[in-house]
Amino acid sequence: GAVVSQHPSRVICKSGTSVKIECRSLDFQATTMFWYRQFPKQSLMLMATSNEGSKATYEQGVEKDKFLINHASLTLSTLTVTSAHPEDSSFYICSTRGTGFSYEQYFGPGTRLTVT
């Protein structure tokens, strides 16, 4: 399967600051990447689909001006949480979709964001 990395793995920031999370596809070119958020003891919530070279598609209820997504190359997508607040504290996970028949998604290791 595909290898996906995320950086940083953990970040603590103060309320009102912005945080950038990087997602890299290490061994294949990902035209599509997905950004998820997961609160404790809850399932994955898709935030947006990131398409290389075009604007991301955001899910209903996700503020596109607060969660900025840039997918400038086939191996890198970034999620910037702007003006972070404590309620944005969560586990953020990116994934890439395989190009095979099964369309399985391969996940990065996740980023634990804590906003104080």
Q: Which residues bind another protein (CB under 8 A)?
A: 1, 42-46, 91, 93, 102-110, 112
Give the H/E segment covering residue 71. Answer: strand 67-73
Residue 44 or 68 having the CB closest to another protein = 44
Parallel/antiparallel/unpaired status of strands 67-73 and 57-58: unpaired
SS3 86: helix
Nearest distance, CB of residue 45 and another protein, angstroms:
8
Residue 7 or 82 having the CB closest to another protein = 7
Nearest distance, CB of residue 46 and another protein, angstroms:
7
Residue 7 or 112 having the CB closest to another protein = 112
Nearest distance, CB of residue 90 and another protein, angstroms:
13
Parallel/antiparallel/unpaired status of strands 45-51 and 32-38: antiparallel
Asked whether the bond before 109 is cis by omega within 30 degrees of 0, the reply is: no
